[in-house]
Structure 1
Amino acid sequence: MKRTLAILLANPLSLLGVVLVSLVVLSALFADFIAPFPEHRGAVVDFVNFNKAPEWPYIFGTDLVGRDMFSRILYAYRISLILGVVVLAIAVPIGVTIGLVAGYLGGRWEYALMRLTDVFLSVPPLVLAMSIMGVLQPTLANGMLAVTAMWWPWYTRLVYNITRGEKEEGYVLAAEVIGASRAHIIFREILPNCVPAIITKMTLDMGFVILIASSLSFLGLGVQPPTPDLGSMVADGAKYLPDSWWLTIFPGLAILVAVFGFNLIGDALRDILGAEQ
């Protein structure tokens, strides 16, 4: 703990990342209590207050049907974090398992699994996700599926490279000599040494998943109205720039805060876990 605290205090940007991510997470968790107009997350119309510039009580202004932008951004954070957590919860085990098996077993397993991974890596991530969403109905569940399909290969490649180096280490050779099973060696001996790199990448990827999901929504392929989503809010407001600037600026800044915060924390974790090793 002392080493961790020392590393954090030595880098003010790490502390900034902790603050930003904490704000994003707390905003999503307690949106029901923080949002001044929680009912505005749904299909609400208030033409009396439509398209208002930022003023009290609408500190981020209102959209074209009178909904409070600040309240909708808080709920959009909840959607983005749910999507990020679910995508990583599915993609990481798949990618890590394939990488471990390919890296340790080698031979035909390595060739088959890594060529499959290369096929997915050869397609630009956003293009792959757009292709999947173009076939499926644009819903939150299908959006998670599309992003997951493009995310697991990166963990496969990461863990595969680590495993190829680790399997020649003395502790692995010792486990093989005493007759440990392949499953034991892969998941009890090699996997723990991959965990620091996996955790760091997961933290960085939370920001990138939010960015990709927002990009899909910006193109109309993500979460559909009236559910609030940062990408669709930016897309809707872009038509009315520069007059109604708040419709685009505030959702765009919300994306920036989330992505920037997770990247700063990822860098901090890389320093901390590297120091512990």
Structure 2
Amino acid sequence: MNRTLAVLLRNPLSLLGLILVALVVLSAVFADFIAPFPLHRGAVVDFANFNKPPEWPYIFGTDLVGRDLFSRILYAYRISLILGVVVLAIAVPIGVAIGLFAGYLGGWTEYVLMRITDVFLSIPPLVLAMSMMGLLEPTLTNGMIAVTAMWWPWYTRLVYNLARSEKEEGYVLAAEIIGASKLHVMFREILPNCVPSILTKMTLDFGFVILIASSLSFLGLGVQPPTPDLGSMVAEGAKYLPDSWWLTVFPGLAILVAVFGFNLIGDALREILGAEQ
């Protein structure tokens, strides 16, 4: 772990990714202390300062009802990170468990589990999430459910391929010979060797989860006003381009910073952990 961190810090691009992700996380965690107008995260109206361009004290400008965009972006980061953590915390264990069972047990178990997985994989992810959100009330919880439903199959496919390869290795055969149970072989022998690939994919996916969630909000199917959300802020501001450019540019840049940061770290981890295996 220390070696991996040292390598990340020596690589300029991965270091940039760490800095960007750290800024996003710190902004979300300490939004209550950083935001100059914390009350603007909710249903606040200040028509005396509506639609102001970037100027002090509104460094990112204000929206159409006078709320400070900088403050709302900080709280929107908090929503995005919560969604990313919850989605991956649910999708990864489900996908990993199904992939291990299918890849190691084979036979009818493999056939049934992988055909179900293929059905989900055959549907474009955003279309699947939009279909679910069309049936559910557009809330943060339902948004998490919709994104989770489209994410677990990718981990199933990844771990399935890894498990099929690993089960022919000598250490697995040795565990089977001494009488280890199937669950022991899957979760204590095969799974640890899959962790580097899973960790790399999780890092890359965190940015994509934020992007997909923002896309749903952009279409009006995600987090609903007055709760600040990056996607809905971009959608709102797009109606007033190019005159009120700050309404769209700053939330869009906020999405870019988060996705770019996680992608840089994920790419670096893929190279480092791939080289160590």
Using structure 1 for the length normalisation, give the TM-score: 0.98
In structure 1, give the amino acid aligned to 2:14. Answer: S
SS of aligned partner of 2:57:
coil
1:165 lines up with 2:169 in the alignment: no
Letter of the 1:206 counterpart: F
Structure 2, unmatched stretches of 5+, are none
Deviation of 1:11 after TM superposition, in Å, equals 2.2
Determine the structure 1 residue equivalent to 2:11: 11
Residue 118 of structure 1, CA deviation: 0.3
Alignment of 1:44-123 (within 5 A): 44-123=44-123
Runs ≥4 residues deviating over 2 A: 1-11, 274-277
Q: 1:183 to 1:220 in 2, by over 3 A?
A: same
Q: In 2, distance between residues paired with 1:242 and 1:68?
A: 19
Deviation at 1:7, TM superposition (A): 2.5
Find the aligned partners of 2:2 and 2:84 in 1 and give their Cα distance: 30
Q: Is 1:125 equivalent to 2:125 in the alignment?
A: yes
Structure 1 residue 269, shift from structure 2 partner: 1.4
TM-align CA RMSD:
1.0
Distance 1:235 1:97, change over 3 A: same
Q: Residues 53-83 of structure 1: CA distance to partner in whole angstroms, max 9, x if unpaired? A: 0000000000000000000000000000000
Q: Deviations over 1:167-198 (max 9, x none)?
A: 00000001111111000000000000000000
CA distance in structure 1 between the aligned counterparts of 2:101 and 2:59, rounded to whole angstroms = 53
Q: Does residue 1:193 correspond to 2:193, yes or no?
A: yes
Number of residue pairs the alignment of both structures matches? 277
Q: CA deviation at 1:268?
A: 1.6
- Identity among equivalent pairs (%): 87
SS in 2 for 1:109: helix
TM-score (norm 2): 0.98
Which letter maps to 1:60?
F
Letter in 2 for 1:62: T
Q: Structure 1 residue 148 and structure 2 residue 151: aligned?
A: no
Matched, 1:202 2:202: yes
* Offset of residue 250 of structure 1: 0.1
Name the structure 1 match of 2:42: 42
Conserved? CA contact 1:7–1:271, under 8 Å? no
The one-letter amino acid of 1:148's match is: T
Q: Deviations over 1:223-249 (max 9, x none)?
A: 000000000000000000000000000
Q: How does 1:170-189 map to 2 (within 5 A)?
A: 170-189=170-189
Amino acid at match of 2:57: P
CA–CA distance in 2 between the matches of 1:223 and 1:3?
A: 40
Cα pair 1:31 1:74 within 8 Å, conserved: yes
**Which has the higher mean CA deviation after the structures are superposed, 195-204 or 263-272?**
263-272
